[in-house]
Amino acid sequence: MKGRFITIEGIEGVGKTTNIQFIQDWLTTNKIEFISTREPGGTELGEQLRNLLLHGGHVSNNAELLMMFAARAQHLDEVIKPAIESGKWVICDRFTDSTYAYQGGGRQMDVATISQLEALVHGAFQPHMTLLLDAPVEIGRARAAKRGAADRIEAEDLAFFNRVRDMFLNRAKQAERFQIVDATQDLSSVQQQIQVCLQTLLESPQ
Ligand code: T5A
């Protein structure tokens, strides 16, 4: 039996890392084998690209877009696809929806170009479920600010993150794999919503 591919998306500080820990605990309780990974990153090459993307100097928009997809190509080949083929569930902190949201929405790059790169790198291969944690930008930024200095992308302004959020919400309207989770609620309510989604996926035919 093949595994499942779950991606977690949303603006900064909305609770992705916190809730991935909850998802891992849920999978362990349900005796489901899984790996947990992230983008950009998840491989040696991807983590090096992540460091350049988040903590390096100036990166042009085109270079940023190509680096996101270069990291993803390696990640799919080396980690994600082999894990799913071996029957494991893959929990991925961000995936291609983040590229549409940040590079397409935030940076206002051409969405058709992003689609071409998506087709090149993973064609019809898509997550089985995408949990979009949604909250107004002000809430996410206030939560993220508690963690310390902003990285290169977190340093963008409010308008940038409002475009990112809008793009996520637009994409969520276009594909059934999305589950929108109201991340403004307290953590236990957020986790109740996530648990319902996970249970539904577990019970759905492959
Ligand atoms: N990127 C990525 C692109 O531009 N294009 C791409 O294609 C891809 C893949 C990656 C960066 O790269 C960009 C997007 C990003 O800028 P990242 O590691 O994913 O960065 O980091 P962030 O999104 O910046 O992740 P954060 O750690 O900031 O946010 P999280 O993980 O969403 O938030 P989390 O869980 O750390 O929570 C933040 C705080 O809020 C509290 C937590 O306890 C924590 O203190 N919290 C809550 N408090 C109250 N109520 C709740 N419901 C709460 N949920 C969490």
CATH assignment at residue 58: 3.40.50.300
Range of the structural domain that residue 126 is part of: 5-203
Whether residue 65 contacts residue 163, with contact meaning beta carbons closer than 8 Å, is answered with no
Alpha-carbon torsion angle 54, 149, 7, 187, nearest 10: 180
Does position 190 have pLDDT exceeding 90, yes or no?
Answer: yes
Q: Give the pLDDT confidence score for residue 1 in this predicted structure.
A: 65
Whether residue 30 contacts residue 41, with contact meaning beta carbons closer than 8 Å, is answered with no
Residues at CB less than 6 angstroms from ligand 1: 10, 12-18, 39-40, 68, 93-94, 98-99, 102-103, 143-144, 146, 153-154, 183, 186-187, 190
Stretch 167-181: mean pLDDT, rounded?
97
Stretch 162-185: mean pLDDT, rounded?
98
Partner residues linked to 27 by β-bridges: none
pTM: 0.97
pLDDT in tens, 111-134: 999 999 999 999 999 999 999 999
CA distance 63 to 57: 12
Stretch 73-93: mean pLDDT, rounded?
98
CA of 1 to the centre of ligand 1 (A): 32
Pocket test for ligand 1, best of 18, 20, 184 (most atoms within 8 A of CB): 18
Q: What is the mean pLDDT of the chain?
A: 96
Q: Give the pLDDT confidence score for residue 150 in this predicted structure.
A: 85
> 42 or 153: which carries more pLDDT confidence?
42
CA distance 72 to 35: 16
Pocket test for ligand 1, best of 7, 14, 50, 161 (most atoms within 8 A of CB): 14
What total number of domains does the chain contain? Answer: 1
pLDDT in tens, 35-74: 999 999 999 999 999 999 999 999 999 999 999 999 999 9
CA 173 from centre of chain: 17
List the structure tokens of 115: 């689609």
Stretch 135-163: mean pLDDT, rounded?
91
